[in-house]
Amino acid sequence: MDLTYTEDEEDFRHRLRAWLAEVLPKLPDRPHPADWPGRRAYDCGWQRMLHEAGYAGLHWPEDAGGRGATPTQHLIFLEETERAGAPYVGAGFVGLLHAGPTIAAEGTSEQRARWLPPILRGDEVWCQGFSEPDAGSDLASLRTRAVRDGDEYVISGSKIWTSHAEIADWCELLVRTAPVNADTPKHRGITWLAMPMDAPGVTVRPLRTLAGTAEFAEVFLDEVRVPVGHRVGAENDGWRVTMVTLSFERGTAFVGEVVACRRVLEALARTARANGRWDDAVLRRRLGRLAAECAALWRLTQWNVSEAQRTGGVPGVGGSVFKLRFSQVRQELYDAAAEVLGPDALDAGQEWVADRLSSLSYTIAAGTSQIQRNIVAERILGLPKGR
């Protein structure tokens, strides 16, 4: 139970802080949320700066072009960048946290050489084509088909909830290459492909979220041709390949948001003091309780990171426990914000109101809370498989 950082870790933190203090003032203004080309340029520009300073792919293995940083260093990086108000990973999310690590783990040396460096440099943007209209939590029931035709797969179907689809160069795509029958359960028969988003037959239709913005899209695939060489892993082995990807999502993915929770909470307290609502003991105690919850999220993160550090970077089972608590607390935080705001909580132009709306996705995205509870019950507690 040691919460002090080593000399090396502190050194890493101080060098990072110094660098952030130097470069952040030079960043251009943030683009408007609806300006997709502007967002791509901004996010990729930040990634290029990280790359030049040696911070790109911090948690990737060194033989994949990463820095081979420890989970603790990655935690420090995410903590410090959030504290300093640095840009979020943004358009680089899928490439750096999903597709890249998958290719690093499962790709051939040619594939790694082709796709990994442009991700690290911020030259290419990836999106994710996993979910389908009829395959959400039950992802393995996906039906987008890929039929082999010589050296190519011919793909037809549709994907949904694809973030950054409008501006992505590549899509990590899950397709069905073997029909489900008595011999082939649905988890077999799935293949992982890298699909160029400019291929003929790809149509992107933005989806408007309840917040009013187009944060993700539907992607329609009409006989799209993808070379067999763009397949990562063996044919019909895509489910296993994908699980490597998903496990990355449960590691340190929410560090920035946890740090932000505390900052938001302090700002809420300041606002409540200014507008008099702090005198309401019910609200004040609610904020106090949220402070405890935020502290727990931070300590759980440190606990999980320490576990990953001990197991050599493999995220532990704590990911689902963390995500359940985190997504709930995040929503409670912005519900409390609405109470602090009073009538202004109905003004969609307020930052906290926009954040309140986007917080509604937290108990759904990246595995709904119901699916997370299934995982905790079956894989951690060892309860019998449910129906």
Partner 1 sequence: MDFQLTDDQRALRTGMRELLARRFPRTRLRAVVDGAAGWGDGDAARGDGGTARGGELDRALWRELGAAGLFALRVPESSGGVGLGLPEVVLAFEEAGRALLPGPLVATELAAGLSGSLAAGAAQGETVVTALDEGGAPVEHLASADVVLALGPTAVEVIPAKEVARSAQPMRSIDPATPLHRSTPTRTRLDRVEQAAQAGQAAQAAQAVQAVQADQTGQADQTGQADQTGQAGPGRSGLAVRLRREAALLTAAQQLGSASRTVELAVDHARHRTQFGRPIGAFQAVQHLCAQMLVRAESARSVVYAAAVTEDPGDIAAAKLLADEAAVHNARDCLQVHGGMGFTWEADVHLHLKRAWVRAGQWQSGAAAEEELAAGLVSTVETCL
Output the smallest distance, CB 25 to partner 1, in A. Answer: 23
With respect to partner 1, which residue has the nearer C-beta, 101 or 251? 251
Site for partner 1 in 275-294 (CB under 8 A): 278, 281, 284-289, 291-294
For the CB of residue 262, give the shortest distance to partner 1 in the complex, in Å: 5
Site for partner 1 in 9-38 (CB under 8 A): 9
Extract the tokens encoding 321.
């426990």
The yes-or-no answer on residue 249 being catalytic is: yes
- C-alpha 259/C-alpha 248 separation (Å) is 20
Catalytic residue among 79, 106, 166, 249: 249
Spatial distance between the Cα atoms of 174 and 146, rounded to a whole number of angstroms: 9
Q: Least CB distance from residue 269 to partner 1, whole Å?
A: 4
Give the pairing of strands 145-149 and 216-227. Answer: unpaired
Looking at beta carbons only, is 94 or 265 nearer to partner 1? 265
CA distance 222 to 315: 37
Q: Indicate the residue among 209 and 374 with the shorter CB distance to partner 1.
A: 374
C-alpha distances out from residue 316 to 3, 69, 93, 306, Å: 19, 17, 21, 10
DSSP code per residue over 103-153: HHHHS-HHHHHHHHHHHHHT---EEEE--BTTBSSSGGG---EEEEETTEE
Which CB, 210 or 281, lies closer to partner 1?
A: 281
Least Å from the CB of residue 335 to partner 1: 16
- Residue showing tokens 């293995």: 61
Tell me which amino acid residue 315 is: P
Nearest to 199 by CA among 171, 176, 177: 171
Q: According to the binding rule CB under 8 A, does residue 372 interact with partner 1?
A: yes
Per DSSP, what are the bridge partners of residue 132? 135
User: 150 or 386: whose CB is closer to partner 1?
Assistant: 386
Q: 124 and 170 in contact (C-beta within 8 Å)?
A: yes
How many residues bind partner 1 (CB under 8 A)? The answer is 61
Mention every residue, 6+ apart, whose C-beta is less than 8 A from residue 86. 20, 24, 46
264 lies in the binding site for partner 1 (CB under 8 A): no
Among 24, 246, 321, 357, binds partner 1 (CB under 8 A): 321
**C-beta of 241 vs 253, nearer to partner 1:** 253
Question: CB of 130: closest distance to partner 1 in angstroms?
Answer: 23
Element (H, E) at 165: none
Using CA atoms, how far apart are residues 182 and 1, in angstroms rounded to an integer?
51
* 259 touches partner 1 by CB under 8 A: yes
Q: Judged by CB, which is closer to partner 1: 189, or 318?
A: 318
Provide, rounded to whole angstroms, the least separation between the CB of residue 312 and partner 1: 14
Q: At what angle do helices 255-275 and 71-83 cross, to 10 degrees?
A: 30
Q: Looking at 117-125, 204-212, 234-242, 302-310, which segment touches partner 1 (CB under 8 A)?
A: 302-310
Q: Which of 5, 19, 36, 220 binds partner 1 (CB under 8 A)?
A: 5
Q: Among 318, 319, 330, 336, which residue interacts with partner 1 (rule: CB under 8 A)? A: 318
Q: How far apart are CA 120 and CA 63, in angstroms?
A: 13
Pick the binder of partner 1 from 123, 307, 332, 344 (CB under 8 A).
Answer: 307
Place of tokens 């606002």: 271
CB of 307 to partner 1, least distance (A): 6
Q: Which residues contact 12 (CB under 8 A, 6 or more apart)?
A: 73, 76
Please tell me whether residue 209 adopts helix, strand or coil conformation. Answer: coil
Any contact of residue 373 with partner 1 (CB under 8 A)? yes
Annotated catalytic residues are 249
| Binding residues for partner 1 (CB under 8 A) | 1-6, 9, 72, 258-259, 262, 265-266, 268-270, 273, 278, 281, 284-289, 291-300, 302-303, 305-307, 309-310, 318, 321, 324-325, 370, 372-374, 376-378, 380-387
